[in-house]
Structures are given as C-alpha cells and as structure tokens.
C-alpha cells in the first residue's frame, strides 16, 4: 500500500500519494496520469507553474499549480519527494530534492514561488520516503559542505559518522521557511522491508543506492531503469 501524509489527508479537495515498489504510481492517482506535465528532472532548483494538462516544462525539479485536474508529480529512488498544499486545498506543489537540490536551495525556491502571491504560513509540507540516515552514507567532504552551508546543529545534518539525514535537513529548512506544519511519510528506501511476507523482493521501495551496491557485487543484477517511485498531488475539484 503506497504511503500518504496524515497532514495532507486532512486537506479538502486534494488527492495525493507517495509511490512504493508495489505501486510506483499510487492507485488513487492513476486515473489522472495522462494530465501530468512533461518534464526532465536534473537535480536542479527550477520550479515551474503548471497551468494546463501535459504542459511542456523542460528541465525542472519542482512544480506548482492552482489549476484543478492536473496531476503534478516527481520521480524518486532515494531522493526526497516533498509535497505542498495550501491549507484550503486551492494550490499545491511538489519537488524532487536530493542532496544537490537541498544544498542548492530547491525548498527555498518553492517558498519563493508560494510567496509571490501568498505566505508559507498558509501552507503545509509533507516529506516522503527517501534514503534515511540509517543507511545513507556519504563522504566527509559532503557532510562538511552541509554543515558549512546550513545554520543547523551538526547532529541534525549528520547524526552519526558520514550518515546524511536528508529528511531532517528538509524538515528544518521547511520550518525555518515558515510553513504551518511539516510531517514525514514512509520509510527508508534503502532498508525498509515489504510488509507482504510473500513478496519476492523483500524490500518495500526501489532504491538507486541499494541497487548500485548489489550491482557492484553482481553485475547481472537488474538496474532500476523505469522503476522510480512517483509521488504526486492533484486538486481534484
């Protein structure tokens, strides 16, 4: 069963979901898939306002809409999907935020987009399944880049040696940007197990990091091409 945000579930007039291995695109969103804009995610910070179905967005990693009936989504394997909604459900957004996007300021760019006509205090944000600090080991240099760039306690950024906590970084950024509330949905894409005991693959999500590690040991292990999770949100009415 795909993940959802308890915060977003309370907002009237929107449908949302974070994909998993069993349903890359959450079933509730599947009927709207042909409305999604065309895009190419590049680990950047460009946010596009979507005004019509199947809009050509080019290279972008964030999407924002006030138009009902258009599914906006991002694809992730270990990066963070972050969804946004106005408290009254009249506008929504979504971003793809890996470590590059977080460092470069994609969450700040979404806040700037919102604040062109509104205030972030009228919005909530939900952080979805991604590589968590339990499994996401990076270089000391990357940890140093984050600690030098961000005014957060070092233990928020890296709770243990060389472990990067993307979700904690995102939550601290979102709260600092003034969002009304923030929650987290889903588990670690690298180590979370499938709740179905009969599953052939014991893991609950597709994971670029886990797949790369397995392919280092066995080059015949299949890649995850075309197997990214879709996280999306739509104003339904």
Dig out the tokens for 128 from the structure.
């979805």
SS3 81: strand
For residues 17 and 121, what is the distance between their CA atoms, to the nearest angstrom?
23
The answer on pLDDT for 176 being more than 80 is yes
User: Can you give the pLDDT at residue 225?
Assistant: 76
As to burial, measured by CB atoms within 10 angstroms (0-12 exposed, 13-18 middle, 19+ buried), residue 181 is: middle
Q: Which backbone phi and psi does 71 adopt, to 5 degrees?
A: -80, 120
What is the average pLDDT score of the chain? 95
The answer on pLDDT for 1 being more than 80 is no
What CATH number labels 8-235?
3.60.140.10
CA torsion sign for 32, 21, 79, 90 is positive
The pTM of this model reads 0.95
Q: What is the pLDDT of residues 143-175, one digit of tens each?
A: 999 999 999 999 999 999 999 999 999 999 999
SS3 58: strand
The closest alpha carbon to 61, from 92, 84, 33, 39, belongs to 39
């Amino acid at each position: 069963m795909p993940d959802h945000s308890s915060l977003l579930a309370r907002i009237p007039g929107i449908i949302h979901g974070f994909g998993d291995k069993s349903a890359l695109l959450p079933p509730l969103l599947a009927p709207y898939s042909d409305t999604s804009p065309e895009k190419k995610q590049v680990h950047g910070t460009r946010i596009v306002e979507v005004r019509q179905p199947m809009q050509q967005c080019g290279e972008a990693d964030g999407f924002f809409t006030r138009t009902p009936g258009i599914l906006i989504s991002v694809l992730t394997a270990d990066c963070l999907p972050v969804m946004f909604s106005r408290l009254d459900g009249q506008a929504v957004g979504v971003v793809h935020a890996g470590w590059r996007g977080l460092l470069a300021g994609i969450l700040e760019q979404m806040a700037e987009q919102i604040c062109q006509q509104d205030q972030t205090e009228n919005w909530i944000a939900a952080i979805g399944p991604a590589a968590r600090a339990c499994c996401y080991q990076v270089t000391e240099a990357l940890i140093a880049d984050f600690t030098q760039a961000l005014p957060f306690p070092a233990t928020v950024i890296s709770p243990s040696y060389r472990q990067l906590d993307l979700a904690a970084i995102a939550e601290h950024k979102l709260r600092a940007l003034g969002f009304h509330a923030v929650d987290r949905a889903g588990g670690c894409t690298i180590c979370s197990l499938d709740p179905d005991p009969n599953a052939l693959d014991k893991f609950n999500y597709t994971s670029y990091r886990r797949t790369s590690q397995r392919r280092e040991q066995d080059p015949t292990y299949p890649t995850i091409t075309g197997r990214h999770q879709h996280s999306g949100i739509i104003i339904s009415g």
